Amino acid sequence: MFETIIRDQVVEFLEVNKLIRDSQHGFRKGSSCLTNTLLFLDKVLHSVDERHDVDVVFLDLAKV
Protein backbone atom coordinates (compact mmCIF):
# COMPACT_ATOMS: atom_id res chain seq x y z
CA MET A 1 0.00 0.00 0.00
CA PHE A 2 2.76 2.43 0.98
CA GLU A 3 4.69 1.66 -2.22
CA THR A 4 1.63 2.49 -4.35
CA ILE A 5 1.22 5.87 -2.63
CA ILE A 6 4.90 6.73 -3.12
CA ARG A 7 4.85 5.62 -6.78
CA ASP A 8 1.73 7.68 -7.50
CA GLN A 9 3.30 10.77 -5.90
CA VAL A 10 6.57 10.37 -7.83
CA VAL A 11 4.76 9.84 -11.16
CA GLU A 12 2.53 12.86 -10.50
CA PHE A 13 5.57 15.01 -9.69
CA LEU A 14 7.33 13.90 -12.89
CA GLU A 15 4.26 14.59 -15.03
CA VAL A 16 3.39 17.98 -13.48
CA ASN A 17 6.97 19.22 -13.86
CA LYS A 18 7.27 17.86 -17.42
CA LEU A 19 10.21 15.64 -16.44
CA ILE A 20 8.85 12.62 -18.25
CA ARG A 21 8.13 12.36 -21.95
CA ASP A 22 4.71 11.63 -23.39
CA SER A 23 6.29 8.68 -25.17
CA GLN A 24 6.90 6.94 -21.82
CA HIS A 25 4.50 4.01 -21.42
CA GLY A 26 4.06 1.17 -18.98
CA PHE A 27 3.35 2.75 -15.60
CA ARG A 28 1.45 5.92 -16.56
CA LYS A 29 -2.32 6.20 -16.44
CA GLY A 30 -3.84 5.76 -19.89
CA SER A 31 -0.66 4.19 -21.24
CA SER A 32 0.53 0.62 -21.19
CA CYS A 33 2.90 -1.73 -22.92
CA LEU A 34 0.07 -2.37 -25.39
CA THR A 35 -0.30 1.32 -26.28
CA ASN A 36 3.47 1.54 -26.70
CA THR A 37 3.47 -1.47 -29.03
CA LEU A 38 0.60 -0.06 -31.10
CA LEU A 39 2.33 3.32 -31.42
CA PHE A 40 5.55 1.61 -32.47
CA LEU A 41 3.73 -0.54 -35.04
CA ASP A 42 2.00 2.54 -36.46
CA LYS A 43 5.35 4.33 -36.90
CA VAL A 44 6.97 1.29 -38.54
CA LEU A 45 4.07 0.79 -40.95
CA HIS A 46 4.04 4.49 -41.80
CA SER A 47 7.78 4.35 -42.56
CA VAL A 48 7.31 1.28 -44.75
CA ASP A 49 4.44 2.98 -46.60
CA GLU A 50 6.74 5.95 -47.24
CA ARG A 51 9.35 3.50 -48.60
CA HIS A 52 11.87 4.23 -45.85
CA ASP A 53 14.24 1.55 -44.65
CA VAL A 54 13.27 0.11 -41.30
CA ASP A 55 15.47 -1.98 -39.01
CA VAL A 56 14.10 -3.40 -35.79
CA VAL A 57 15.98 -5.19 -33.02
CA PHE A 58 14.02 -7.00 -30.32
CA LEU A 59 15.73 -7.92 -27.06
CA ASP A 60 14.31 -10.29 -24.49
CA LEU A 61 15.58 -9.08 -21.14
CA ALA A 62 13.25 -11.23 -19.06
CA LYS A 63 16.05 -13.36 -17.65
CA VAL A 64 18.55 -10.56 -17.13
Can you tell me the distance from the alpha carbon of 38 to that of 43, in angstroms, rounded to the nearest whole number? 9
pLDDT at res. 42: 95
User: What pLDDT, on the 0 to 100 scale, is given for residue 43?
Assistant: 94
pLDDT band of residue 23 (cuts 50, 70, 90) is confident
Instruction: Look up the pTM and report it.
Output: 0.58
Q: Where are the alpha helices (DSSP H) in 17-62?
A: 33-49
* Segment 32-42, tens digit of pLDDT: 888 888 999 99
- Whole-angstrom Cα Rg for the chain: 16
Report the percent of the chain where pLDDT is more than 70.
95
Higher pLDDT, residue 34 or 29: 34
